[in-house]
Structure 1
């Protein structure tokens, strides 16, 4: 009798997660699967679960896998999964909430510091033989105000880091069930008006797509720093480019983009004021294991299997 199959929309999964899933056959979609690839693999293998690392999972993939019971995200953001289609078909959608919180919060902190201190630019100048001590002025963050949009596990962890640095921290999150100590709860208008640094930590929804746009950027303080380790669709990239080029935004530290992977010739490339990383905030050796284990355990919980500790 053949074993049930689980499709992983990536090329690998942590060994610890594979041990949890040892009673299933694992099918990998490869490093850069397309939606069409996912649909084809669903038709071929009829998985009972999909663990989503890359690509989108839409209605066509769900219809191609009549045995599918659960779609488990290898991470916290489920915007690449058609949740409405899943609900209509009785397919559970689960996420590895908090599994990569430390990693992503550290990346947000890194990008904020790099923007404030011009680390990449100074490093490049030093390697080219320049000594810019007499001409460079960086931004001191102690006493400055950080505005967080989204206070889930990542936002809360970043808030604690910023508070420890002596920053004034305020946040907006109408869905937060807990609120971190030392963070002032404010509305979005206050975030725009009073923040020296704005950092995005919210999921992408139809309601907040393009949240950072020409109008909201115009409300921000001149010289604001913008950090995004959430989803690229939260930002109108043309509006941000204009704001950086005219100096209204001091610098933008970005780990996610509207279209990924970023194609050669993107307007942010080779432009001063942009510090870029390829959506790797949650890509650490520890987070890789934590997200894999959480995704595997979440899938098995829906499938009704006993989840062994690992």
Structure 2
């Protein structure tokens, strides 16, 4: 099979991909194996910071109250943290771990906190691009994720956004609101059956998106970095071929420094006239200037974006002024299922690191003993 790039990397539990698609390696960034765990700490003294967005504006947790209580029931001390876009050393002072949704965890913060006994960043979700992984490895701080929790919600969101675009929902909605009922015959909705969905990145989310699309009668083509792997019913090919053949192109890969801006002017120009673009992965994968041009000058008929290069998105971002773009504030997959499963996965990881056990989805080396 063709690959998306000549330099594949891989990790157990996650299908392989190339440096443009950005899945992690199966050793740490220094090439060391993950085989050393510290002796566990005593329950009931283990302080776990909670980023502010673990809670709703009214102070209630985003997960069910019964599940929220499971952290304390596991012998941990929950410590709600003030709102911040990036943690400082002071934010993590006195903590053993932190459960974080959207805030950045810079390298200098990790290195300073580790000197005070901090040992674990538990990411609420699958991505970890806002955590300095290199610094975490140097400081001996574990970083874990909860990839299984977001698989179905994000895959369902991908299909929902695709169907909304194809069905011309926003255009019909605008007609009704503007009193242009008589114009309804000027727009034709498109069905997914027989059309081609292209998926860039065939990990957990990509595979589930493909499964749902196949159920709608779509053809599915996809790209993985190594050219190996795949999924039943999915035709594997190189990235350029996926881009060129797709009626709808969906990004389903994490962001790394090597794949930043992978969708640029040349890639959008290679798409079919009238094609659609869906991105629920990371905004940094896309050159937004090139995307805007493709939406206003062709070839794209529309796009659905849950993520942006800069978040929160700036009020003057030109994409916000286009009527052929569906927009969401990096929230389209935040279902009740996702919140609860992410939370329980974080608790499992926190207690594993605390007790000296290997956690389920480890991105870095564990703290050294």
Counterpart CA distance in 2 for 1:175 and 1:81 is 25
Q: CA deviation at 1:274?
A: 0.8
Alpha carbons 2:48, 2:78 under 8 Å: kept: yes
Aligned partner of residue 98 in structure 1, secondary structure: helix
CA distance in 2, matches of 1:178, 1:7: 38
Q: What SS class does the counterpart of residue 198 from structure 1 fall into? A: strand
For 1:17 and 1:157, the matched residues in 2 are separated by 28
User: Corresponding residue for 2:261?
Assistant: 210
Choose the corresponding residue for 1:158, options 209, 232, 237.
209
Please name the residue that 1:103 is paired with.
Answer: 153
Output the CA distance in 1 between the equivalents of 2:346 and 2:228. 23
52-61 or 194-203, which deviates more: 52-61
State the shift of 1:10 in Å. 2.3
Structure-2 change in CA distance of 1:306 and 1:85 (3 Å): closer
Query: Who is 2:175 aligned against?
Result: 125
The match for 1:27 among 79, 85, 88 is 79
CA distance in 2, matches of 1:176, 1:101: 22
1:239/1:78 Cα in 2 relative to 1: closer, same or farther (>3 Å)? same
Give TM-score scaled by structure 2 length: 0.77
* Conserved? CA contact 1:59–1:85, under 8 Å: yes
Structure with larger RCO (C-alpha < 8 A, sep 6+)? 2
Query: Deviation per CA, 1:178-227, whole angstroms, max 9, x where unpaired?
Result: 53210111110111211111100100011110011001112221221100
| 2:71 and 2:78 in contact (8 A); partners too | no
Q: Deviations over 1:251-278 (max 9, x none)?
A: 1101111111112222111312211011
Q: Deviations over 1:46-69 (max 9, x none)?
A: 211111112100122213322111
Deviation by residue 1:136-189 (Cα, 9 ceiling, x = unmatched): 123332111111011111111110111011110011122698532101111101
Deviation at 1:113, TM superposition (A): 1.2
For 2:92, the equivalent position in structure 1 comes to 42
Look up the match of 1:237. Answer: 288
Q: 1:95 touches 1:295 (CA, 8 Å); kept in 2?
A: yes
Whether 1:267 and 2:306 are equivalent positions in the alignment is no
Number of equivalent positions = 303
Q: Is the 8 A contact 1:150 1:173 kept in 2?
A: yes
TM alignment of 1:67-82, pairs within 5 A: 67-82=117-132
What is residue 99 of structure 2 aligned with on the other side? Answer: 51
RMSD: 2.1
CA distance in 2, matches of 1:49, 1:78: 16
Q: State the shift of 1:4 in Å.
A: 2.7
Pick aligned residue for 1:145 from 184, 191, 196: 196
> Retained in 2: the 8 A contact 1:151–1:179?
yes
* Residue in structure 1 matched with residue 308 of structure 2 by the alignment: 257
Residue of structure 1 in register with 2:277 after alignment: 226
State the alpha-carbon separation in 2 of the partners of residues 271 and 278 from structure 1. Answer: 16
- 2:133 equivalent to 1:83: yes
CA apart distance, 1:295: 1.4
Q: What residue is the counterpart of 1:8 in the other structure?
A: 50
CA distance in 2: counterparts of 1:178 and 1:280, whole angstroms: 30
Match of 2:185, SS state, is coil
Shift of 1:282: 2.3
List alignment gaps of at least 5 residues for structure 2. 1-41, 56-60, 359-369
Deviations 1:100-145 (A, max 9, x none): 2111111111111111122122112213322233211233321111
Which stretches of structure 1, 4 residues or more, deviate above 4 A after TM superposition?
A: 175-178
Residues 46 and 354, structure 2, Cα contact 8 Å, conserved in 1: no
Question: Are residues 1:60 and 2:108 paired?
Answer: yes
